[in-house]
Structure 1
Amino acid sequence: MMIVGLTGGIGSGKTTVAKLFSEFDNVAIYIADYEAKKLMNSSKTIKDKLIKEFGELAFINDALNRKYIAEIVFRDKEKLAKLNAIIHPEVKKHFEKFVKINNKKNYIIYENAILFETKSNLICDVIITVYADVNTKIQRVIARDSSTKKEVLNRMKNQWQDCKKILQSNYIIYNENLDETRKRVREIHNILTGKASIF
């Protein structure tokens, strides 16, 4: 089974690219951030560890207090590392089950904003990085999350720079124009489908 890591900085449009890949029948898509959010609310192991690390305010009425945790971790790299250390092993186990269920697909897209930061690139056979101009990314996040420019820049500081990701990637998608992005996704899909038989 071929695992294709899909990554990119905040606001690069990874989710849009993942949706374009999901249009192909023989591809399974795993969105690590979405699955992590679900696990944070459903896994007792994660919940207990988060409360121990971040205090009782980490959960309100049995639901994750995302705003509270985000305010802490995006100001403190050590706390962010601790958060990832709590969540990442559980996401990894969950993903391993997903791979078994989808082992008949040509390949699996594993979309993860912090693919390199969590060393998840090591489980991938191929890596695709999505990138866009900094101003485009900032505007997208402000529009999506109602964040301030300062908040977006703080979050960007906690991620690897695009150039570092690009150097370690097999394919690059410059995501500024949807039609061009769609065309590039199809090109990469055709190459990967050809390679899938090797794995």
Structure 2
Amino acid sequence: MKKIGITGGIGAGKSLICKIFEILDIPNYPADYRAKWLQSNDSELKAKIAFHFGKEAYFENGELNRNYLSKEVFGDDEKLKLLNNLVHPAVAEDFKNWCKQYSNKPYVLKEAALLFETGSYKQLDATINVHANQGLRLQRTLERDPNRTKESVLSIMKKQFSDEKRIELADFVIYNDESQSVIKQVMRLHELLVE
């Protein structure tokens, strides 16, 4: 079974592309969602986060105090690196265990916004970058999430690799910029990946 990473900048349409793959019966591991889940549900990870960031990192009910943790790591590269060094190995182990249930599939997807930035793509067989230009990504993000400001979305974009860098690193690119059919692109790629 091949493990294929899928990434793209905020608003590129990763989730849409993953849904098309899922219709083709290809399982998708949503790494960003699982990272959040693990921070509230994996007892070993929770203990490490509480040890390094204080018991305030969790509410009494065991849920992660996202606001507190965000304030702790915001603007502090060392603390952010420490948090990532705790979370990423837990996600990698979770993904490995998740893959076992799909050993009968030709391939699975691992969807992650920061696939290249974290280096986790190195443990995968190939990568797909979902591409759309920055203006279109900004417009989509503001439309789907009216609570975000233009400035906050641009700030997220600055923390992600550039479109050019992602395209350079990716094995495959799906263009979700309204210039061609994404369904046809996914179908062509699916045929390649099941060979």
With normalisation by structure 1, the TM-score equals: 0.88
- Name the residue aligned to 1:43: 42
Give the 5 Å matches for 1:80-95.
Answer: 80-95=80-95
- Residue pairs, 1:10-159, within 5 angstroms: 10-25=10-25, 27-60=26-59, 61-145=61-145, 146-159=147-160
Q: 2-side partners of 1:51 and 1:171: how far apart? A: 39
Indicate the residue corresponding to 1:162 in structure 2: 163
Q: Structure 1 unaligned segments of length 5 or more: list them.
A: 195-199
Structure 1 distance, partners of 2:72, 2:136, is: 26
For the aligned residue pairs, the C-alpha RMSD in angstroms reads: 1.9
1:57 positional shift: 3.4
Please give the alpha-carbon distance, in whole angstroms, between the structure 2 residues aligned to 1:62 and 1:178: 46
Separation in 1 of the partners of 2:138 and 2:151? 10
Counterpart in 1 of 2:4? 4
Deviates more, 1:68-77 or 1:157-166: 68-77
List structure 1 segments (4+ residues) > 6 angstroms apart after TM superposition: none
Cα–Cα, structure 1 residues 50 and 131, in superposed 2: closer, same or farther, change >3 Å?
Answer: same
Distance in 2, matches of 1:68 and 1:139, equals 29
* CA-CA distance at 1:92 after TM superposition: 0.7
Report the Cα distance in structure 2 between the residues aligned to 1:178 and 1:23, rounded to whole angstroms: 22
- After superposition, the C-alpha distances for 1:169-190 in whole angstroms (9 at most, x for unaligned) are 1111111239711221111111
Q: Aligned residue pairs: how many?
A: 193
Query: Could you tell me how far apart the structure 1 residues matched to 2:33 and 2:19 are?
Result: 13
Stretches of structure 2 that go unaligned for 5 or more consecutive residues are none
Give the distance between the partners of 2:23 and 2:5, measured in 1 at CA: 17
Preserved CA contact (<8 Å) 1:14 1:130: yes
Q: Secondary structure of the equivalent of 1:116?
A: coil
Over residues 61-119 of structure 1, what are the superposed CA-to-partner deviations in whole Å (9 max), with x where a residue is unaligned? 42112244345545343333222111110111111111111111010111111111221
* Structure 2 match to 1:175: 176
Partner of 1:191: 192
Superposition deviation, residue 168 in structure 1: 1.4
Partner of 1:197: none
In 2: Cα distance, 1:172 partner to 1:14 partner? 11
- Higher mean C-alpha deviation, range 4-13 or range 170-179: 170-179
More displaced stretch, 100-109 vs 62-71:
62-71
The alpha-carbon distance between structure 1 residues 73 and 160, as it changes in their structure 2 partners (threshold 3 A), is farther
SS of the counterpart of 1:176? coil
**Residues 148, 56 of structure 1: alpha-carbon distance in 2 compared, 3 angstrom cutoff:** farther
